[in-house]
Structure 1
Amino acid sequence: MNKAEVVTEIATKTGINKSDVQVVVESFFQVVQQAMVDGKSVHFKGFGKFFNKKRSKKIARNLTDNTAMVIDEHYVPTLKISKDFVNKVKGVVKA
């Protein structure tokens, strides 16, 4: 399912105009992205938590010319799914 399909689904279920739903969905993603850029985490109960995970400085190897390179400490965006959501997908808890 892509973003356009999500917008269509929400518009159908709520009766809200598709263009209004599109604006809300786009704004949602912008808010989540900006919060993560600012170093904040975003938590949705029953869904999951978006946060930045710290990766330590390490030495990697370029396999093409067999040289070592240093990868500095950095952060990667991460999503940790809630246990309730995982259990629903597994079929343990019926929705």
Structure 2
Amino acid sequence: MIKSEPVQKLSEQNPHLYQRDIEKIVNAILDTISDALAQGERVELRGFGTFSVKKRGARTGRNPRTGRAVSISEKVVPVFKSGKEMRHRLNPASQKRAKRSVTSSTYVTGLVDA
């Protein structure tokens, strides 16, 4: 999905708003997240996930073409961790298995204790 697709979808869902205004709102949200990450802050969107930054230390890598050692400097990279609700939406089948295993383990524990 590219940035114009959510703008288009939001404008279809909100016909009373101009598409250019929706585009400004989406850009403002993304810019705010980017600015916060650039300052080293953590951004949490409940139900969606958390954006943060992680520092990668300097290391020695290899040039894949020549095989020579190359010095790679320290970097700060963005990291995203999906929220619980997002994971449930992406993996609905695993939720059913998790519920089933909890129920069966409770049953087995009850038999063992008796």
Q: Confirm or deny a common fold (TM above 0.5).
A: yes
Q: Kindly indicate whether residue 4 of structure 2 is the aligned counterpart of residue 9 of structure 1.
A: no
- In the superposition, the TM-score normalised over structure 2's length comes to 0.72
Deviation track 1:46-79 (CA, whole Å, cap 9, x = no partner) reads: 0011111111221111132222122122111111
Q: Name the structure 2 match of 1:59.
A: 60
Question: 1: distance between equivalents of 2:21 and 2:64?
Answer: 49
CA distance in 2, matches of 1:22, 1:12: 13
CA distance in 2, matches of 1:4, 1:64: 37
RMSD over equivalenced CA pairs, Å? 1.6
Higher strand proportion, which one? 1
Q: How far, CA to CA, are the matches of 1:57 and 1:14 in structure 2?
A: 48
Tell me the distance in 1 between the aligned counterparts of 2:77 and 2:26.
23
Structure 2 distance, partners of 1:11, 1:64, is 48
Gaps of 5+ in 1: none
Runs of 4+ aligned structure 1 residues displaced above 4 Å come to none
User: Equivalents in 2 of 1:66, 1:2: separation in Å?
Assistant: 36
Bigger drift between 44-53 and 72-81 goes to 72-81
Gaps in structure 2 of 5+ consecutive residues: 96-114
Which gives a bigger RCO, structure 1 or 2 (Cα 8 Å, sep 6+)? Answer: 1
Percent identity (aligned): 27
Moved more, 24-33 or 60-69: 60-69
Distance 2:56 2:76 in 1: 6
Structure in which a larger fraction of residues adopt helix: 2
Q: How does 1:37-56 map to 2 (within 5 A)?
A: 37-56=38-57
Aligned letter for 1:90? N
Corresponding pairs, count: 93
